[in-house]
Chain A
Amino acid sequence: GEDVEQSLFLSVREGDSSVINCTYTDSSSTYLYWYKQEPGAGLQLLTYIFSNMDMKQDQRLTVLLNKKDKHLSLRIADTQTGDSAIYFCAEILSYNTDKLIFGTGTRLQVFP
């Protein structure tokens, strides 16, 4: 079955880079996603990457995809306290219904 795994916690100092890792199982997934959940709120799509890409950069965010190892990472440059949140990676299960399988989420804590 499908399974998406992430480490549960990451703590970084303000101004440093954060790297959040994710492994997925479905090699046929053509899109992979990063969602952000701020405390007590719903999720918002941060960025996504198409499976024929190795890297995607969007301002402070860099997504790296290693399709051979089924490994996805999200790098946040110059991490700020406002980046403190839970970050979920997700793979798409069904295109017709946008069914996503989410990872367990990584809680990022940024300290001054």
Chain B
Amino acid sequence: SQTIHQWPATLVQPVGSPLSLECTVEGTSNPNLYWYRQAAGRGLQLLFYSVGIGQISSEVPQNLSASRPQDRQFILSSKKLLLSDSGFYLCAWSPQTERGTGELFFGEGSRLTVL
């Protein structure tokens, strides 16, 4: 069966410090991968998605970047965190099919607090 792991689960970082959140998927190959951010009262915002190694699409201009160094590994990074980067970050995957189903499988999330 497929599983998705995200870490760390919680993170408290000072403004201006770097960030690295990691997500790995097991039990499948060539998945679509996504990073979403959930900010208080604002729902879920799609930040990045990837259809393959080294292929990253950014949905919104921001202080963050994403990388996919391996097929089932997706990393969210920042060189210098801002207060506005605080939030709950969710990684998700979906199988690559000719026609998507819209079913995403989410990790447990990483809560980032920037002070």
Contacts and interface: CB of A to CB of B under 8 A. Distances in A.
A80 interface: no
Contacts of A96: 51, 100
Contacts of B100: 92, 94-98
B41 A104 contact: yes
B42 A48 contact: no
Interface string B22-36: 000000000010101
B3 to A, nearest CB: 12
A98 B43 contact: no
A97 B31 CA distance: 10
B106 A43 contact: yes
B21 interface: no
A104 B72 CA distance: 28
Given A42-B109, A43-B104, A95-B100, A105 B43 contact: yes
Contacts of B101: 31, 98
Contacts, number: 65
Interface string B73-115: 0000000000000000010101000011111101111000000
Q: How large is the interface on A (under 10, 10 to 19, 20 to 34, 35 or more residues)?
A: 20 to 34
B15 interface: no
Contact of B104 (A40, A45, A101, A103): A45
B108 A97 contact: no
A81 interface: no
Contact of A40 (B99, B106, B109): B109
A90 interface: yes
Most buried by A among B99, B102, B103, B104: B102
Interface in A23-64: 31, 33, 40-45, 48
A100 B49 contact: no
Given A88-B44, A95-B100, A100-B46, 14 more contacts: A4-B43, A6-B43, A8-B41, A33-B103, A44-B106, A48-B102, A94-B100, A96-B51, A97-B51, A97-B100, A98-B32, A98-B100, A98-B104, A100-B104
Closest 4 CB pairs of A and B: A42-B106, A104-B43, A98-B100, A102-B44
